[in-house]
Structure 1
């Protein structure tokens, strides 16, 4: 009798755990538009090709339904450039201003500056500095999970349950 009672409790606990886990599970995905680029040493001029990439990213982001857009700016100064801290600041300011021109609210822009001590390595094994990078992500009022299941969206990554 005691074994039946314990077994019954264990079975009920597993059933309850199953329903709690099922209710707590969620679809998750990553939705973003991203670009990274290297600039000539000591330059703060954002190349037209990079401006075009960012503008196209913004056009894609404006297709996200019922969201605001967050712009994340990463700018760096290579340690072997003249005054890398100042260059990182200027690059960040230029990118932030450009995002505002494209329609991102200034309060929705985050900036992260860094000093690059060693070059990165690209997909081909070449050294690259990647002094600038811009990421656009959605800001959703009640969370962005609904975008994961939106047939008009193409997530960068997806994890289900």
Structure 2
């Protein structure tokens, strides 16, 4: 997992822990699916493997009952790549177009653009570095709160309700 996503996860855990200390107990969990995409340097086109990863994450998200799905695209480029702004834009555009092909409404797609450094690369088991330039995070859109999903047996949350 990238440092960016690890930091985001740590922030969620910290927020839940703080809510427990301030309010006694927290009645929340996190629900989401992610796809991490590695592209060849200086390219924007999605490979079939990239599309497969996005599709698998979306299939899991579509199992959530009675909600719409929001997709957040974190499109980035590494400092070692050429034309970083064009790469970020092209990667975001290509992923958004693919998500729309899969049925995600344009208004439910958010885009964040990032610049990544070599320190953010992921070390593979063989010792080489993996440069993931795009992350797609699917989250539910609920009327009111999504808290009911924490206890729904059809949903597998990625964190559990915190009870003191």
Indicate the residue corresponding to 1:146 in structure 2. Answer: 148
* TM-score when normalising by structure 2: 0.77
Alignment pair present for 1:155 and 2:154:
no
Count of residues in Structure 1 that have an aligned counterpart in Structure 2: 139
Q: Following superposition of structure 1 onto structure 2, how do residues 74-153 of structure 1 map, counting pairs within 5 Å? A: 74-118=74-118, 119-122=120-123, 124=125, 126-153=128-155
Query: Separation in 2 of the partners of 1:37 and 1:53?
Result: 8
Is the 2:36–2:132 Cα contact (8 Å) retained in structure 1? yes
Q: 1:56 to 1:79 in 2, by over 3 A?
A: same
Alpha-carbon distance in 1 for matches of 2:144, 2:26 = 14
Determine if contact 2:124/2:130 at 8 Å carries over to the other structure.
no
Deviations 1:17-65 (A, max 9, x none): xxxx67xx44211111101122111111111112012112222211111
Find the residue that maps to 1:157 and give its secondary structure.
coil
CA distance in 2, matches of 1:67, 1:149: 15
Aligned pairs for 1:9-28 (under 5 A) are 25-28=25-28
Task: Provide the TM-score with structure 1 as the length reference.
Answer: 0.79
Taking the aligned partners of 1:122 and 1:135, their CA distance within structure 2 comes to 21
Structure 1: stretches of 5+ with no match in the other structure: 1-20
1:59-118 CA-partner distances (Å, limit 9, x unpaired): 221111111100010111122212011001000000011111111111111101112232
